[in-house]
Amino acid sequence: MAVTASRTQEPPAVQAEFRASPSGLVARAVVATLLVAIVFTIPLITDTVWDDRVSLAAIFVIIGLSINVLTGYAGQISLGHQAFVGIGAFMSAYMVGTDGPGASFFVALPVAGLTGAALALCLGLVALRIRGLYLALITLAFGLVAQETIFNIRSFTGGGAGAEAPRPTGFVSNQAYAYLCLLFVGLFLLIDWRLAKSKAGRAIVAVRNNERVAATLGINVMAYKLFAFALSGFFAGVAGSLFAHQTKFVQAQNFDFTTTLLWVLMTVVGGLGSRAGVVVGSAFFALFQYLGDLLVKIFTFGQVHIDKITIAEYAPLVGAVLLLLTVTRYPGGIGQQLLPIRRWLSGGPFVDPKHRRKKRGAGAAGAAIAQEAPLEPVGEREAEPTEVLERVGASSEEPAAAVDAANDGQADTAVDAANDGQAETAVTTQMPAVTVAAEEKTVRRGLRAFRRKG
């Protein structure tokens, strides 16, 4: 199949064609450094209120990455992420608190991460048996149980009253804490990046695309699924710990149902499977209510001031509408829009070379598909970025969807990093056979139904 065929072949010629000039490389390095530098200078130039918001954005980014590991890479939907973030927050508060061991923050943080991982692992065990729609339901119910039962155990979380979580010495100021959070964002981005490039990362994605095919390739489906859950839980637990000490006081109501849905939608809008998209999406939703106020003030020259409550009310609406747009129109999310920039920064051309090539040779290559699916414009179809979101549900239901497992755009998360253009040719050659068979079957079935009826 596409996966095995491309392994043995050379990387496509398109990639070899383009080589950035030395000055181009310098330009890329300068822009990349500037981007990082800008993020790290924000806490320096902003006031202490905004420093706190930077921390919050950083925490949201880690949560987004956590959901991305589970939903984007492993294709397991989670509507109960508040359980993992919340358990991390309460564990951290418990560890440093007077009722608990009274440990330091730097002990509490990894413990919180491990607790999140352990809880996620429990849910992962369930996910081995239950999948698809039922898993979505289970995670939602699990989140509610965590919120109503676990977070209200008096001896652990202080019941409804909440628990105190003081900041560690040296990081008491908002500015210092913002840097601490940014540091963790950097760390997790590094882990996430290396994971996606590693054997484990590719195995997880293979399991998402088609469990059966992955198993035949010798991938331990069970182990990698559990690993994805545990890793996602660890990210979430650490994010919870950072959140607890950022607000300095945790309560069960911080982790309610709508918050979880906001986290899920910021990840989907950011673009499942796209690291850059998730980072931008998460930060955007964390800061939305403050940015909204700022933008209104700037554009009306300080004449109109909308109070914070009004904007906070509108935030979920904007998010939900963006989610619906992402799901129905732009399945790649923000990550899809960022793709040219990302490609350019990593040493490639700004414009997709494949896109250009396809335009030239569209006549011959596209003819085969055009015959089978005359309603679909060929050029558009091939230029389309991968629809990760669609593949979330495709794993067990549509083995055919696994054929376009490795596509452009998502090369780093695809089964084989090197088979960029290659998989596509495999798809082109395989498509007609599959569609012909399917069409024939449906027509025959339709006729049979017709005969029975009349």
Partner 1 sequence: MLKDVVYGLFAGATYGMLAVGLVLVYKGTRVFNFAQGEFGTLGAFFVFWLFDQVHLPYGVAAILAVALVVVVGLVMERIVIRPLLTAPRVTVLVATVGAALVMISLEIIIGKAVPRTLAPALVTKNLIEIFGVAISYQQLLLVGVLLAIGVGLVVFFRTDRGLAILATSQDSYATRVVGISVPATSRLIWGSAAFLGGLAGILQAPVVGVFGPAFMTALPGAALIPAFTAAVIGGMDSLVGAFVGGEIVGLAQGLGFHFLGLNHGVPGAQDLTVFVALLIVLLARPQGLFGKEVA
- Cα–Cα distance, 80 to 259 (Å, whole number): 10
Can you list the alpha helix ranges (DSSP code H) found in 329-361? 333-345, 353-360
- Cα–Cα distance, 366 to 189 (Å, whole number): 38
Q: How far is the CB of 188 from partner 1 (least distance, A)?
A: 24
Binders of partner 1 among 135-154, rule CB under 8 A? 136-138, 140-142, 144-145, 147-149, 152-153
* C-alpha neighbours within 13 Å on the C-beta side of residue 295: 7
Q: Which of 103, 130, 370, 373 binds partner 1 (CB under 8 A)?
A: 130
Binders of partner 1 among 294-333, rule CB under 8 A? 313-314, 316-317, 319-321, 323-324, 327-329, 331
> How many Cβ atoms sit within 10 Å of the Cβ of residue 379?
12
Q: How far is the CB of 79 from partner 1 (least distance, A)?
A: 7
Cross-strand bridge partners of residue 249: 164
Q: How far is the CB of 232 from partner 1 (least distance, A)?
A: 17
Q: How far is the CB of 70 from partner 1 (least distance, A)?
A: 13
Would you say 266 and 284 are in contact if contact means Cβ atoms under 8 Å apart? Answer: yes
Question: Given phi > 0 = left and psi -120 to 50 = alpha, else beta, which region is 348?
Answer: beta
DSSP one-letter code for 306: -
CB-wise, 69 or 108, nearer to partner 1? 69
Q: Which of 65, 185, 389, 403 binds partner 1 (CB under 8 A)?
A: 389
393: contact with partner 1 by CB under 8 A: yes
- Cα–Cα distance, 241 to 258 (Å, whole number): 20
Would you say 439 and 225 are in contact if contact means Cβ atoms under 8 Å apart? Answer: no
CB-wise, 145 or 294, nearer to partner 1? 145
133: contact with partner 1 by CB under 8 A: yes
Cross-strand bridge partners of residue 163: 250
Closest CA to 393 of 194, 135, 161: 135
129: contact with partner 1 by CB under 8 A: yes
User: Judged by CB under 8 A, which stretch of 25-33, 188-196, 370-378, 383-391 contacts partner 1?
Assistant: 383-391
Q: Which of 256, 372, 384, 412 binds partner 1 (CB under 8 A)?
A: 256
399: contact with partner 1 by CB under 8 A: no
Q: Which of 8, 21, 258, 303 binds partner 1 (CB under 8 A)?
A: 258
User: Judged by CB under 8 A, which stretch of 53-61, 183-191, 355-363, 386-394 contacts partner 1?
Assistant: 386-394
Q: In Å, how far from its chain's centre is CA 395?
A: 17
User: Judged by CB under 8 A, which stretch of 106-114, 129-137, 339-347, 410-418 contacts partner 1?
Assistant: 129-137
Q: How far is the CB of 324 from partner 1 (least distance, A)?
A: 5
- Cα–Cα distance, 203 to 372 (Å, whole number): 33
CB-wise, 5 or 312, nearer to partner 1? 312
Burial annotation 1-18 (CB, 10 A radius, 16+ → b, else e): ebbeebeeeeebebeeee
CB-wise, 91 or 96, nearer to partner 1? 91
Mapping DSSP to helix (H, G, I), strand (E, B) and coil, where does residue 214 land?
Answer: helix
77: contact with partner 1 by CB under 8 A: yes
265: contact with partner 1 by CB under 8 A: yes
440: contact with partner 1 by CB under 8 A: no
155: contact with partner 1 by CB under 8 A: no
Burial annotation 180-202 (CB, 10 A radius, 16+ → b, else e): bbbebbeebbeebeebbeeebbb
Closest CA to 75 of 191, 203, 195, 255: 203
Contact positions toward partner 1, by CB under 8 A?
77, 79, 126, 129-130, 132-134, 136-138, 140-142, 144-145, 147-149, 152-153, 159, 256-258, 261, 264-265, 268, 313-314, 316-317, 319-321, 323-324, 327-329, 331, 389-394, 397-398, 401, 442-443, 445-450, 453
